[in-house]
Chains A and B, each alone.
Chain A
Amino acid sequence: MLLYEMTLSKLHDELTSGRISAMELLDGVLKRIASTDSKLKAYLRLTEEEALKAAKAADARLLAKEGINPLLGIPFAIKDNMCTEGISTTCASKILDGYVPAYSASVAQRLFNFGAVMVGKANMDEFAMGSSTENSAYQITANPWDLSRVPGGSSGGSAAAVAAGQAIFALGSDTGGSIRQPAALCGVVGMKPTYGLVSRYGLIAFASSLDQIGPIAKSVTDAALILNAICGHDPMDSTSLKVGTSDFTQGLEAGVKGLKVGVPKELMGEGIDDGVKAKVEEAIKIFEGLGASVKEASLPHSEYALSAYYLIAPAEASSNLARFDGVRYGHRTKEDVEDMVDMYSKTRAEGFGAEVKRRIMLGTYALSAGYYDAYYGQAQKVRTLIMDDFKKAFSEHDVLISPTTPTSAFKGGEKTKDPLSMYMSDICTIPTNLAGIPAISVPCGLSEGLPVGLQIMGKALDEPTILRAAYAFEKEFNFSERPKL
């Protein structure tokens, strides 16, 4: 097996036993990038120089047996909406062209401290708005399983890189499904932790009450190991939860015998592709075979989740993106301007792409006088109803399972002209963001040669249970197909 195909856990054994060095591993991954990224375009920029330094430092730590941890010497990709000191960070937007942060996001800093090796910044939908990575201002990423299809979004670069062996793991961010949806479409594991479990300091905000950073990995164990490294309280983020650190790999093998699994009927009905539904039904049988009790569940307000989300997320985005005004950093218009308002308006018109403008407009409208109560206010009330649905469902079930996405990877360009149909891609993932609860997507097979994701949702801070369920499924199902690139 080639190095870049191995899981993080396996590579850790290889590194600590001395069978390979961090430099050899990095070399394997960089060669893989060199031979595939002209087709895939998963990376916006590589950080080879920094990676070589980090790999050398990791080898020194391995040799001295100091600071050994599962992430030491492991090459990873990071979505380009997380700040990295001294390294250009653009959010795949022209408005941040050339922006070089003076600090690193807490998650990035933690991974650097663990000795993980950043190989590059992954492509994404501009400001994390989109479900196909076609909204990047710089390049379009392809799905490694079929280059004519999208990798999902907005963490499409991160998911494609992991699926193709261009990184051993990656970090993504999930506002309405942006980790789980691309993980599902690329056949890898993606996890959105409980809101507040992972610090958002240094993540360029899209919708602050929904955004959460999480791992994209090749296995459930790997996702747990990455979560171990990035979770925990951060005084730099006022929404960071004060919960102690845990070892999320503990208890993975406990199995699902007696686990109460609910299948929300609203997420298995209309709009879910037959091929996807068939795979999820097979997964349900596997859970039953392992001794879990599976019953129908209900999230009665799910049909309103998409509407609430597309008012709340743009409302928050329109406010967060007000900071991009061409004054302190990023792009500023070169045209003659009459006054400051003119400068802001021209700068923003030149810097933002179509989807970002659309959402800023939508959010500004939803928050404007006369419409606030009917749109934003009502959406916030619907959010309460959705949270209550989950509370009720979790009083009867330990976890909920559903498809991660209504379809497998769609063709590039297929939905770009119709924003509403693109928004539907996140219909199964959005409710959990509104409720702030954790969810994971694991591969559950192929439909017409394309990966299908199974979503497992849990109560707030009940990551151990969803990881345990995902691990039991992964072990039994043993998804071993890989994209042929």
Chain B
Amino acid sequence: MSIDKREVEHVALLARLALSEAEKESFTKQLSQILDHAGKIAELKTDDVEPTSHPLPLKNVLRADEIKPSFTVEEALSSAPSKENNMIKVPNII
């Protein structure tokens, strides 16, 4: 399975990654190569096989709905790259 540059650009948009021209070129080549190898799994007949998304048989994990201490506003904002008046600052949305 190969992937072309146009698809690489589309996936980069979905992944929110601004790629350089050189990166687009090298990813087109490398992803095709990796997908070629990974495509090997298509050989297996798996119609009757259930998928496994997780090694544990996970069920809902619930806890009591109790108020517990949490981070202060200062702690929660301590690593924010831009902030103002106890809020995280981002570029204009509208």
Contacts and interface: CB of A to CB of B under 8 A. Distances in A.
A479 interface: no
14 contacts: A102-B71, A195-B56, A327-B81, A330-B79, A337-B91, A343-B91, A344-B16, A346-B18, A360-B15, A361-B15, A379-B38, A381-B44, A383-B51, A384-B50
A209 B52 CA distance: 10
B81 A362 contact: no
A360 B51 contact: no
A322 to B, nearest CB: 8
Interface residues of B, number: 53
A306 B41 CA distance: 10
Contacts of A387: 52, 55
A121 B85 CA distance: 33
Interface of A: 98-103, 195-196, 209, 235, 238-239, 241, 301, 303-304, 306-308, 310-311, 318, 322, 325-332, 337, 339-346, 348-349, 352, 354, 357-358, 360-362, 364-365, 368, 374-375, 377-385, 387, 419-420, 423, 434-436, 460
A374 to B, nearest CB: 7
A325 to B, nearest CB: 7
Contacts of A337: 91
B67 interface: no
B56 A307 contact: no
B81 A329 contact: yes
Interface of B: 1, 3, 7-8, 11-20, 23, 27, 30-31, 33-35, 37-42, 44, 46, 49-56, 58, 61, 63, 71, 75-76, 78-82, 88, 90-93
Nearest to A380: B51
B24 to A, nearest CB: 10
The binding surface of chain B is classed by DSSP as loop
Given A339-B91, A343-B90, 19 more contacts: A303-B40, A310-B34, A310-B37, A318-B15, A328-B88, A332-B81, A339-B93, A343-B91, A354-B23, A365-B35, A375-B35, A378-B44, A379-B41, A380-B52, A381-B44, A382-B44, A385-B44, A385-B49, A420-B34
